[in-house]
Structure formats: C-alpha cells, structure tokens
Amino acid sequence: MARQWKKTVGGLDVLEQDARGWTGALDIAQLRTVCTLSFIESRVPVLGKELAPLGLDPGYNWRRGRPVLAAWYDRSRTNTIFTKMEADRWFGCATRPSRAMSTRSRR
C-alpha cells in the first residue's frame, strides 16, 4: 500500500505541472482528473483511518503544495457536467449530490 500511495502522490505532482497548460473546455482526461481528485478529497480521510497501518495518512491533503492544480480543480468542478445526476452515472464522481440521487440512495 505504501508503494502504491507514493505513486499516487507522484502522479499528483505531475498533474500540478500539467495543470499549468489546461485552459478552455475540459477534455475526457481532465474530466477523469476532476473525478479522481474528488474521490481522493472525500475518501482519503475515511480510508486513511482504516489503512493507516499500511501507510495511508488519514490527514493527507492533496492540495498542499499544489496551488495550480487546486485552483484548476475548484474552477473545473463548477462545470455543469458535475452538477447533474448523469455525471455520477457516467463518470462516477458528481461533486454535489442531486435531490434525485439522494432519493435513489434511500430506496
């Protein structure tokens, strides 16, 4: 787990450099990047508690030291694709749960 986590952190560092050139409309790779960052931001605190003995820090903040990527992520996640229920169905990463999604999850 520790070795895989090092690869994840290294990938985030590469994304910090790449994000400097990301402008305009989101492409599919950037959509997946938003989904991945959303997952890391929401799940690492939960998973980290369970996996701390294996090297995952529950207090890890991917934004620390990555101001360009963090600013890009904040701008990108306001894209309408992430505010619709289809974003969760197609990309697995809606950043704001819709009313329909919360109703569906209670069934």
**54-77 burial string, b = 16+ CB within 10 Å, else e?**
eebeeebebbeebeebbebbeebb
Q: What is the mean pLDDT of the chain?
A: 76
Rounded to whole angstroms, the Cα distance separating 70 from 68 reads 5
Domain range for residue 48?
Answer: 2-78
Lowest mean pLDDT among 1-15, 23-37, 44-58: 44-58
In a domain, 16, yes or no: yes
User: What DSSP letter does each residue of 15-31 carry, written as one string?
Assistant: HHHHGGG--SS--HHHH
With 0-12 / 13-18 / 19 or more C-beta atoms within 10 angstroms meaning exposed / middle / buried, residue 95 is buried
In a domain, 92, yes or no: no
- pLDDT single digits (tens) 60-99: 788 999 999 999 999 888 877 776 645 455 555 544 444 4
In a domain, 11, yes or no: yes
Domain count, the chain: 1
In a domain, 98, yes or no: no
In a domain, 67, yes or no: yes
Rounded to whole angstroms, the Cα distance separating 34 from 18 reads 13
